[in-house]
Amino acid sequence: MYNLDMKELTSSNAREHFSDALAASVREPVFITRHGKRVAALVTPQFYERAIEALEGAEDIAAAHAALADDAPSVSWAAVRADLGLA
């Protein structure tokens, strides 16, 4: 078994020891490098889903802050319903 003490592997090492890299990614993300730069990361599906949910939450918070900071006049729900003929 290849020793994956490091959290980074070169792309050629990752290719040669892919199953070991996958096994290590269960414990922590494993970064793949090419020419000394990180180009990919191996993570569990659970880690990926949590990261996506966190990013979406951050986007929602940013959008809410922007909406609250907007000084444009607001329209009441009753007015919207009336405009659509739903009142």
Domain that holds residue 54: 1-68
Domain of residue 51, CATH code: 3.40.1620.10
Note whether residue 39 is domain-resident: yes
Residues 54-79 have pLDDT tens digits of: 999 999 999 999 988 988 888 899 99
Per the structure, how many domains does the chain have? 1
Please check whether residue 73 lies inside any domain of the structure: no
Task: Using pLDDT thresholds of 50, 70 and 90, give the confidence band for residue 5.
Answer: low
pLDDT tens per residue across span 32-58:
999 999 999 999 999 999 999 999 999
Judge contact between 32 and 6, C-beta under 8 A. Answer: no
Is 87 inside any structural domain? no
Query: pLDDT category, 1, cuts 50, 70, 90?
Result: very low
**Kind of pairing, strands 8-10 and 30-34?**
parallel
Question: 59 in a domain, yes or no?
Answer: yes
- Which residues are within 8 A (CB) of 29 and not within 5 positions of it... i.e. 6 or more apart? 7, 41, 42, 43, 47
